[in-house]
Structure 1
């Protein structure tokens, strides 16, 4: 097999040499001709299976230089010598070879040439099961799962004053992804206002309008997990290559990249590559770009390149539309006064509104009662009493961690990074303000901190809000969230 592969590869190289002058960038013919042998002398074919060709390259630079300067010619050479539908893989040479390991030999150009150990060739992985090589331009891209939920379409999205601008912009993007000045589109707003729905609606509409485009929706949590997995397997190049084939990249809850510099670094390079190549980027967050803490300034600046839009909690008329839409889909009819009461009673977000509707309908069905306004009020009062929040230390921890985009376990760590110490100090402060717990009790709940640490945290927050506008803003917003 190796002799046949080497013969195929040598034929590809000869075809490329013979046709260098026919390249579109032929004005650089002299430069490309001089660099051709130097470049490809260090590139080896590793395997050819089911029209998947893997090339070993010394570094990312070689891969990028080939992609930038020789890919049309290489594509033509592979088509001539292998056939249509070839998918190209790159495997980067490992920088460190394992001690006491015999060298690997690969027969190239008729001689035994020692080849350094290469990274294990695996397809970039996402959610456990994606097999996507780096696909050459001009060759049909491998279909990947976009992770889009068909329910989250524009047809199912209720437009109102609170989201009209965001909706209009999103529909414009879906018609011309990557071609408008709305790139990236940064959507922010509170919990349950429809950020994920409208972001996925863009992806679904693009898939309808442009079936050949690769659309990918991913939560920031999955993006981080993917990065960690590929980093452990020393396959960061494969991680980057996977996202580079995407035409519309939708990443949800970007605030959770806070405090993760390595993941931010990779995201930064993916963002730049996609943006420079006219690919559409859609980002959602619960905060405006300027309010996300501990994300590199250069990443924050990228968020601001396009358009930032906020989605607010739905107004009364929009809430009525949401209720009627939900009832129509479920085949249920309610009187106008009941709909008005529901719309006026639940004002926070769409998710809670739908939850109340479901609870009311379930209650009415179980007890086989006609849904009257009096019954509705009784049911909502029962729901409200059952859902009444008890402000204790675990609840404060949950609110603060959600606000700053960290995990509760990080509060108990010994790290002194600001992205962790600040939320930790806020938890201690609010625990003293809103509960009867002693300093010692709070310290115990915070992973065994002593009472002096808690006292210092409370003083730090009190002093900070007196002189720091950002700290004062955190205090105001967190207080509202805890009391809500």
Structure 2
């Protein structure tokens, strides 16, 4: 046993503290006690290293350090104090601190910028930490400083301050800053631009008219137009087309302006690369000072990326103060984007917000005709109407179906007609369950032709009644797939052969009579029939 005056000091860690976990035990060794009024015993005093990154961390409880001795063994250093002495490894302290923060974070993931911070050394009351650059330093200070102080103070058994040091970059990492000069020559064309995406080739309908006019206004008036413009819509409805149309218009009218058109994912990648390379200043200068028009596609990609949101927030403010137009697209309303900072969300709401809805039937037909014209496809009107009737979602899906029909016609050496189109649609768009009943069908036909339901089911043979009756029988057979006897029964107990005759007559009219084709297509669309 040690005499009371020479007992080693052992910190009293709480039972639940992480240092009590297996594999993270602290090494505490007894040091020779230095008498209060005499020199240190030979070989018993040690000088703490305060300059080596992988050196010791020292805990000063009371008294003073003897600076006349040498480091201890096994890579650990000890401090000789007047009253108490303890040793521990710095890197274990830092690793344990990061593990605690990681365990408390959402999803158990450590912040990318904090994970790249490195412990330099520990001095009495001061912990020195190296970070990549000023951005990382400010980021950690704002979000983790108090937590780091608390955890380190618990491990070092006393209050500590944290001093950040910027990592030294290689001499060639950051080129010398150059003053911003407005180019007299035409600016380079924006990357990822679609030359065929122009306002002239954008099919306008009630569903997208406001978005198109707002985008055109910014392209033509720039600083005088309302901005920022936020366009939100589902995928495939023309958001990217409008952004490209704006970029093409500005590049043609004012070629000296610098237009930045890019997907948000590329913006995120540029920012991460700039942080790692220590080129944050160049990144900021590019977007804050060298940009005359910012077009950002799929801005919802920013969700959950706190670092990029922070940087974009300041870029947005700088551009807005310079009256630089900003157009953003997304598949969500700003208030619906999860994990987006509120201050950024409010800035998205500053300007004009417009929505693009799925196109109406007439707009879908016009889109198919424009696409067929661009691709040199001979597209009959009835085929365009059939595709527009079947495909009610995105413009991209419409164009895909048209391309498939054209390819099928080329491979099989057949003309593009209803029969070929129906074959392709049957493969690409399997028939969905039909909720329409024969009663619904009969009422819709009567409403369309302006006749009574009793006439449709009765014995009348007037032409104004027989044609609607035959069309109703045809759809009951082709769309509802009802048996012939059942159809005959629901139309005044007629024989099944009458139903067959009616179906043949309508099929013949569909081949030669455009008016009948329109009637059948409208009924299919109204009732949701295949």
CA distance in 2: counterparts of 1:160 and 1:280, whole angstroms? 25
Please give the per-residue CA displacement for 1:394-444, whole angstroms capped at 9, x wherever unaligned: xxxxxxxxxxxxxxxxxxxxxxxxxxxxxxxxxxxxxxxxxxxxxxxxxxx
What's the counterpart of residue 166 of structure 2? 96
CA distance in 1: counterparts of 2:182 and 2:190, whole angstroms? 21
The equivalent position to 1:217 in structure 2, one of 219, 242, 261, is 261
Question: Displacement, 1:153?
Answer: 1.1
Q: Secondary structure at the match of 1:347?
A: coil
Question: Displacement, 1:144?
Answer: 3.9
Q: Classify 1:170/1:96 alpha carbon distance in 2 versus 1 (closer, same or farther; 3 Å).
A: closer
CA distance in 1: counterparts of 2:426 and 2:179, whole angstroms? 58
CA distance in 2: counterparts of 1:342 and 1:249, whole angstroms? 37
Contact 2:186-2:257 at 8 Å conserved across structures: no
Please give the per-residue CA displacement for 1:191-215, whole angstroms capped at 9, x wherever unaligned: 1000011012111111112111100
What's the counterpart of residue 321 of structure 2? 276
Contact 2:223-2:325 at 8 Å conserved across structures: yes
Are 1:341 and 2:411 matched, yes or no? no
CA distance in 1: counterparts of 2:185 and 2:319, whole angstroms? 16
CA distance in 2: counterparts of 1:144 and 1:269, whole angstroms? 25
Higher CA-based Rg: 2
Q: Classify 1:134/1:257 alpha carbon distance in 2 versus 1 (closer, same or farther; 3 Å).
A: farther
Superposed counterparts of 1:180-195, under 5 Å:
180=225, 182-195=226-239
Q: Classify 1:186/1:232 alpha carbon distance in 2 versus 1 (closer, same or farther; 3 Å).
A: same
Are 1:295 and 2:340 matched, yes or no? yes
TM norm structure 2: 0.48
TM norm structure 1: 0.53
Please give the per-residue CA displacement for 1:377-398, whole angstroms capped at 9, x wherever unaligned: 111101224999xxxxxxxxxx
Stretch moving more, 345-354 or 201-210: 201-210
Q: Secondary structure at the match of 1:176?
A: helix
Q: Classify 1:135/1:154 alpha carbon distance in 2 versus 1 (closer, same or farther; 3 Å).
A: farther
Superposed counterparts of 1:41-52, under 5 Å:
none
Unaligned segments of structure 2, at least 5 residues: 1-132, 136-163, 434-530
Q: CA RMSD in A?
A: 2.7
Q: Larger % of helix: which?
A: 1
Q: Classify 1:142/1:165 alpha carbon distance in 2 versus 1 (closer, same or farther; 3 Å).
A: closer
CA distance in 2: counterparts of 1:274 and 1:96, whole angstroms? 28
Question: Displacement, 1:143?
Answer: 3.4
Question: Displacement, 1:151?
Answer: 1.6
The equivalent position to 1:121 in structure 2, one of 149, 155, 174, is 174
Question: Displacement, 1:361?
Answer: 0.5
Please give the per-residue CA displacement for 1:34-55, whole angstroms capped at 9, x wherever unaligned: xxxxxxxxxxxxxxxxxxxxxx
Question: Displacement, 1:96?
Answer: 3.4
Higher relative contact order (CA closer than 8 Å, sequence separation 6+): 1
Question: Displacement, 1:178?
Answer: 2.6
Question: Displacement, 1:256?
Answer: 0.8
Contact 2:189-2:251 at 8 Å conserved across structures: no
Superposed counterparts of 1:59-98, under 5 Å:
96=166, 98=168
CA distance in 2: counterparts of 1:247 and 1:263, whole angstroms? 21
The equivalent position to 1:198 in structure 2, one of 242, 257, 260, is 242
Please give the per-residue CA displacement for 1:95-125, whole angstroms capped at 9, x wherever unaligned: 6365xxxxxxxxxxxxxxxxx98672249xx
Question: Displacement, 1:333?
Answer: 1.8
Please give the per-residue CA displacement for 1:45-100, whole angstroms capped at 9, x wherever unaligned: xxxxxxxxxxxxx999xxxxxxxxxxxxxxxxxxxxxxxxxxxxxxxxx96365xx
CA distance in 1: counterparts of 2:347 and 2:315, whole angstroms? 11
CA distance in 2: counterparts of 1:122 and 1:294, whole angstroms? 35
Q: Classify 1:151/1:386 alpha carbon distance in 2 versus 1 (closer, same or farther; 3 Å).
A: farther
What's the counterpart of residue 475 of structure 2? none
Q: Classify 1:242/1:386 alpha carbon distance in 2 versus 1 (closer, same or farther; 3 Å).
A: farther
Q: Classify 1:122/1:157 alpha carbon distance in 2 versus 1 (closer, same or farther; 3 Å).
A: farther
Please give the per-residue CA displacement for 1:295-344, whole angstroms capped at 9, x wherever unaligned: 11110111111100001111111111111111111222222111111111
CA distance in 1: counterparts of 2:167 and 2:430, whole angstroms? 65
Superposed counterparts of 1:372-391, under 5 Å:
372-385=417-430
CA distance in 1: counterparts of 2:166 and 2:411, whole angstroms? 67
